[in-house]
Amino acid sequence: MRYPVKPNVGESEINRAIAAALTRMGWRVYNFASDHALPRAAAGFADLVAVHPGLPVLFIQCKRPGGKLTEQQREFAELICADTHALYIQASSLDDVIAMLDYREIIHR
């Protein structure tokens, strides 16, 4: 199933769609996208963290199509990618998340 990206979609809408879909799939999703979710010292932390028993922890950074990571987000991604028990995903749509989970053989379409 494809989840097309709507034109001019905002990061908050992408965030909500991904969180809702992962929750329906049995993941526990924590949203850190709010300005008040984390202290300023945590700049670069992923927007969503998703946990499912027995599977890698997902750190998901939501970006508008064509959006780029900030330097702090790149540093955080590198830190997460160094850990083989976690997965960092930059996503502009639910399709990006599903494709990575399928590629990593975490789920199968």
Residue 60 belongs to some domain of the structure: yes
Burial of residue 32, with CB atoms counted within 10 A of its CB: 0-12 exposed, 13-18 middle, 19 or more buried: middle
At 77-108, the pLDDT tens digits run: 998 888 768 999 999 999 999 999 999 898 76
- Provide the 10 A C-beta neighbour count for residue 88: 22
Domain carrying residue 94? 11-103
pTM of the predicted model over 0.95? no
Q: Which residue has the tokens 């790149």?
A: 74
At 25-46, the pLDDT tens digits run: 999 999 988 666 666 557 889 9
97: domain CATH number? 3.40.1350.10
Residue 19 belongs to some domain of the structure: yes
- How many domains, the chain? 1
Select the more confidently predicted residue: 5 or 82: 82
CA distances from 8 to 5, 18, 48, 77, 95 (A): 9, 17, 21, 25, 17
